[in-house]
Amino acid sequence: MIKIEHLYKSYDKKPVLKDVTLAVQRGSIMGLLGPNGAGKTTLISILTGVIRKDSGSITVNGMDLDHEIGAIQSRCSYVPQTLAFYPRLTARENLEYFGALRNLKGKKLKESMEFCIDIGSMQDFLDKRVDKFSGGMKRRLNMAIGLLNDPEILYLDEPTLGVDAQSRNYILKTIQKINCERKMTIIYTSHYMDEIEQVSDEIAIIDEGKIILHGPTQDILTRADALCGHRNLEELFLKLTNIRLRDDN
């Protein structure tokens, strides 16, 4: 279980996260929604130890992030929204490299790679340079690299950004499959409301650095029905976060 309490973070004295308190149940998929600049990526970056928080406390499966970051990081995996691998390497070379950095070697590395190749459906283009891949293939590889260490917690930052409907459907089905089969806790950010509705057990909406709504998906949809007249997450989201345009920052 992930427990966040009174989390604060600011950049150049500009607050980005303000008193965020949130708990994510073990084995659940939590959809994290928010407009541009709401603080989603910052929150995930703090949870994965990429950047440091200003104050507040975070515990992951009972371990304090401040004191046991190494142990937490070895049990987690982060799939950034950018395509975080080496385009001049092949898919196999990328998987080997990131696997080795996860301290995998020999048979264990081979088995992990086979699992990830299967998950990413990459058998046919494994030895092809990644810069020759389609957008969907790249997204699948990006996610597959995140699964190399068989994490207990998987952070997915907009994993379907810029892919076609087929790849998007494949990625969503894969997320549900690994959650179901491996009891993996997944925190998932996206701008696509239908995706969040489809895969999440619980939803948190963040805006201007604050969690403004959090609960099981069905409860949230019921609330949408009450507020908007029908079970539509997007309408609820716009109602809660206001319709004004947000600048990326």
Partner 1 sequence: MIKLLYILKKEFLLIVRDVHAVTILFVMPAVFILIMTLAMKDLFELHSTVVIDILTVNHDAGKRSVALLKAMEEHNTFRFHLIGKDTVTESVKEQMLSRDYKFALVIKKNFSAFVNKKGKGKDENPLELLVNPTVPVQTQLVLKSALDGELSKLRWDAFIGRIDKLLAFAGIDRKDLKADKLSPIDVQYVYKGGQSFKMPSAVQQSVPAWLVFSMFFIVIPISNTFISERDQGTFMRLKSMNVSSSYLILGKMIPYLLINAVQVIFMIAIGVYVVPLCGGTALTIGDSIAGLVLIAFAVSFSAISVALLIASIARTTEQATTIGAVLNIIFGALGGLMVPKFVMPEFMQNLANFSPMSWGLEGFLDIFLRNGGVSDVLPKSLSLLALGLVMLGMTLISLRRQREV
What is the binding site for partner 1 (CB under 8 A)? 11, 45, 48-52, 69-70, 73-74, 76-86, 88-89, 93, 96-98, 100-103, 105, 129, 145, 155
Backbone CA torsion sign across 50, 55, 57, 63: positive
Minimum separation from the CB atom of position 60 to partner 1 (A): 13
- Distance set, CA 211 to CA 16, 103, 178, 200 (Å): 12, 36, 27, 17
Minimum separation from the CB atom of position 59 to partner 1 (A): 18
| Closest to 126 in 3D by CA, of 94, 173, 149, 83 | 94
Minimum separation from the CB atom of position 144 to partner 1 (A): 13
Which residue is listed with tokens 């949230």?
A: 220
Q: At 12, is the secondary structure helix, strand, or coil?
A: coil
Minimum separation from the CB atom of position 137 to partner 1 (A): 16
Minimum separation from the CB atom of position 78 to partner 1 (A): 4
Spatial separation of the C-alpha atoms in residues 188 and 166, rounded to whole Å: 19
Minimum separation from the CB atom of position 139 to partner 1 (A): 13
Q: DSSP E strands: which ranges in the chain? A: 2-11, 14-24, 29-33, 55-60, 63-64, 76-79, 153-157, 185-189, 202-207, 210-216
Compare residues 127 and 181 and give the one whose CB is closer to partner 1.
127
Compare residues 94 and 241 and give the one whose CB is closer to partner 1.
94
Compare residues 94 and 179 and give the one whose CB is closer to partner 1.
94
Cβ contacts of 241 within 8 Å, gap of 6 or more: 34, 35, 38, 205, 207, 212
Compare residues 151 and 236 and give the one whose CB is closer to partner 1.
151
Compare residues 2 and 233 and give the one whose CB is closer to partner 1.
2
Compare residues 40 and 102 and give the one whose CB is closer to partner 1.
102
